[in-house]
Amino acid sequence: MHTRHQMDILHHSTDGYVGTCCSCGRFQVAFGTSMFQIHEDMLRGLLHELAEDERYCAERVDPRTKCFVYDVGSECVRMVLNHTEVVRLRSMLSDALWMQGIMEEVGSEPK
Ligand SMILES: [Zn+2]
């Protein structure tokens, strides 16, 4: 079971958490009622989509309408968000990637 693998937590807040699995390196993202595990390239792709939707749709949609649909690496599950959630998830994921960068820098320092 993946959920029992050890994780490096990159971000944790009332919205959820983001961590990386110590054995396979995939990102584990918990947000709202969903939790999904994706590779870094997919996470970056998702972050890009979120950033675009955050920018282009801000004035055109009711922030509470669930109208943003995202692929989370599964054939039968999609994540559906409203604009407020798009903003929150985008900030959570960019935070996590920033933290990952810091941790990699610290880890690569000569001892
Ligand atoms: Zn894993």
- Residue 8 CA to ligand 1 center (angstroms) comes to 11
Range of the domain at 14: 2-107
Average pLDDT over residues 93-97: 96
Average pLDDT, the chain: 90
Q: What is the domain-level CATH number for residue 23?
A: 2.30.31
- Residue 55 CA to ligand 1 center (angstroms) comes to 33
List, for residues 46-80, the tens digit of each pLDDT value: 999 999 999 877 778 888 999 999 999 999 999 99
Q: How much is the pLDDT for 6?
A: 87
Query: How many domains is the chain partitioned into structurally?
Result: 1
DSSP one-letter string for 44-99? HHHHHHHHHHHHHSTTTS-TTS--EEEE-S-SS-EEEE-HHHHHHHHHHHHHHHHH
- Residue 87 CA to ligand 1 center (angstroms) comes to 27
- Residue 97 CA to ligand 1 center (angstroms) comes to 17
pTM for the full model?
0.88
